[in-house]
Structure 1
Amino acid sequence: MVITATKTRFCHQTWQLEAQIQLIQTMGDVTYVITDVTPFHPVSHIWPDHPADKGTLTIKGMKFEVVDCQVGAVELASGKLHVGTAIPVKRDAEGWVFVVVHVVPRTDAITVGDAALLEVDKEYQLSLSRGHSAGHIAYLALNKVLAQNYWRKDADRKDPHGNYDFNSYAQETSFVTQDKCLDTYRLGKTLRKRGLNSADMLSDLKSIEQQVNVLLGDWLKRDAAITIDCHGEHLTDSRYWQCDLGEGEIAVIPCGGTHASHLNDFGSILVTLVEVDAQTVEMHTDVKR
């Protein structure tokens, strides 16, 4: 069978579909299953901020738990599969296709060409989607609040609303969990040189937190959809998160994760800013339904 790049459906509010198995590989106590199309979102091997989906594959009447879901790359000349951090090439490398790897407990009972019913754990995916979208909305709010009083000179990077992009400059890590996003920011010498008054930011952290939460409350009153603009149907094609938060420009953010579909998916979004040390701040973003 000719192996093709996986067609993805995780940005289409699709949680169940039928597909054909293209490749099977067993490693230790697990088996990798690659299908031609999938509703499962894999964890990224480059920026693993969004966890893998959970769910099941049903093949020839047998149901297998998807214990992990990763990005894979297949070298077409050899048919060799590389998974996760073992992928040796960048996306769209000639002679390679990128695939979604469904990891199931070891089995010898399935074969290439079999039909599979793929079913994503919808509620789990939706909880991650809310957490991820909330993280985007929260950092846009933080950027806006900081832009008003905490930059002493113009910053080169601006966010989609035209505010100084503190998030882009300072973010070290971002991790999405169910109805939550945790961002870690570093307030180092380089950021101070770029113009951030980090000492003032730290001393006013609780006030900033309050202003961010007021802004989030205002934004969530809007009747606005969240959409994903997919520039293709494959894993390596660009995808853009979009939402009109009433700031003059529609927020457009490159992002490969799954997301909420409307601002009314959130009862509230609440941010807590935590000073870890003199150079590190955490933003805890929590969603209430």
Structure 2
Amino acid sequence: MILDVKNLTKTFEKNNKTFTAVDNISFQINKGECLGIVGESGSGKSTIAKMLVRLLNPDSGEINFLGKDLATANKSELQATRKDIQMIFQNPLDSFNPRKKLKTSVGAGLKYIMGLNKKEIDKKVNEALNLVGLKPEYADRYINKISGGECQRAAIARAILVEPKLLICDEITSALDVSVQAQIIDLLVDLRNKMNMSYIFITHDLTLVRYLCDRVLVMYKGNEVESGTAKDIFENPMHPYTKLLLSCIMTVDNIDENKSISYEKLQHSGGCKFKEMCPNRMEICNSIKPEIKQINNRNIRCHLYND
């Protein structure tokens, strides 16, 4: 096991109201494994990712990565882990300096994380660009002179350049057209086989999750509602929310990450967070929050499965 997350929690304040974006989440990832995290906008997926790389500080919980708790790590301890855990963002264009050539932006990590010289950096940058399907001449191009798919490939090259053990992919295909999406996913599969990396794949595209992931964590309003193997989740969903996602009753528009989040809707009055939408709502759902139960090798949070 390379990552063991325990009881991770994060709250935010908006208009003098506090809401819980990530509520006591736990999960594990083994070497070479891919975990898909799915759910609609506001479910807490990206907040988890940002806490794992400490772009956000958790309120409580543990992030045990290769034997170190990143949740409490200081600046120097975090710096020591940068090589082993990398993140690719939804919009890679925002993460590149438009005034610098691609080779400079892609190779920055080698200078600051690994302390390599210019000759060593140029060599590794060319190798990484080749690995993601970009020709050597791309090294001297600026980010505004390449396509969206090429930009995403460059972002992947930058992330894998330091040979991480865990790669976090946060909605990395959502801004790409279908043909380019397929190319990026095939690239990730190929890199996983070559480098034996572990992945966290955050998306609202369930088709990609089924194709790419070994296990799936389904989230709703900051809670884990169900998790298990991809095969079990897709062939036999147990939680009502998971069933809605997979039956397409919950349309793509409903789970589109690009829409604005209504923080007022994230407020919770007690009981089950899914009660207002649940077709199986019972009286107990109104007042008592269900606990996580282990059933048939998966976790599920639902009163339907009370003993």
TM-score normalised per structure 2: 0.24
Structure with the larger strand share: 1
Structure with the larger helix share: 2
